[in-house]
Amino acid sequence: MQGKLYLCATPIGNLEDITLRVLRTLQEVDLIAAEDTRNSIKLLNHFQIKTPMTSYHEYNKIEKAYQLVEKMKAGQDVALITDAGTPGISDPGEELVCICQEAGIEVTSLPGAAACITALSMSGLPTRRFAFEAFLPKEKKERAFILSALEGETRTVILYEAPHHLRKTLEELLAALGDRRLSVCRELTKKYETVLATTLSGACAYYKEHEPRGEFVLVIEGRSQKEIIEKRRESWAGVPLEAHMEHYESQGIPRKEAMKLVAKDRGIPKRDVYAMLL
């Protein structure tokens, strides 16, 4: 029989957050694949787990994934753990899951801590719809593209950031998104856990005076639908009606449908558009 891949969530700070199911699984599997074995050995030693461990990280994620798949094909059960949190969320675990599925290896996830969900739940911002962006890209053009896309995002946005990049990231977010409500969540589940409910401008001012310390999760208010509608109306206000119609008709949109779109853009009834065109 083939083995199985177990995605085991580990604590993001407080060791008491590990589940009984994860502890039992880590003891029973044949091999543990860890993002950083030096970090994970502390966790295993704390709970007296003696299961053999191997490294699986960003720099060997493809080659090592195929090696692990061969072990599972041979009947071994493998548990995947990260430095903290749920495997596959903003880490190389997603590649291993994909390769396992392609090879017909069964994959199961043992739920537990995740910094993004922990921060969202205590942020005080809307939780029904959210967009998780993890760390912003380092490459300049890609970073600018993501920031531009987030400018119109109506869902609550969750970002990760390291302390030495926090000030710059907050300034970039303020410039790209405008001032919005923000919860700065720091050192989640740990002794010095804090949640600063503020705004992007307020956070920029605060961290000019205070040195950022610890790991951060930024939970940012989405843009309101009302604001989007008002900005769209403003953008079309100075455009002649005929040119506005031509914008849609040039795309092959029928005249009646184009009139509906123009009315929506301008925030006026369709009959008014019809009357003005006549």
pLDDT digits (tens, 9 = 90+) for 87-141: 999 888 999 999 999 999 999 999 999 999 999 999 999 999 999 999 999 999 9
Structure tokens at 214: 């610890």
pLDDT reading at 274 higher than 70? yes
Bridge partners, 53 (sequence order) = 32
Average model confidence (pLDDT) across the chain: 92
Pairing of strands 181-186, 4-8: unpaired
Integer Cα distance of 263 and 250 in angstroms: 17
Element (H, E) at 221: none
Q: What is the pLDDT of residues 18-69, one digit of tens each?
A: 999 999 999 999 999 999 999 999 999 999 999 999 999 999 999 999 999 9
Residues 22, 8: contact at Cβ < 8 Å?
yes
Write the CA distances from 269 to 10, 77, 83, 234, 263, integer angstroms: 55, 63, 56, 16, 6
* Band (272; pLDDT cuts 50, 70, 90): confident
Residues 259, 247: contact at Cβ < 8 Å?
no
Cα 132 to chain centroid distance, Å, stands at 2
Integer Cα distance of 154 and 221 in angstroms: 8
Angular region, 99: left φ>0, alpha ψ -120 to 50, beta rest: alpha
Question: CA Rg, the chain, in Å?
Answer: 25
Q: What is the DSSP string of 29-47?
A: SSEEEES-HHHHHHHHHHT
* Three-state SS at 130: strand
Structure tokens at 222: 């989405």
Q: What is the pLDDT of residues 190-247, one digit of tens each?
A: 999 999 999 999 999 999 999 999 999 999 999 876 776 677 777 777 788 888 888 8
* Three-state SS at 216: strand
**Cross-sheet strand order for the sheet of 78-81:** 53-55, 31-34, 78-81, 4-8, 106-110
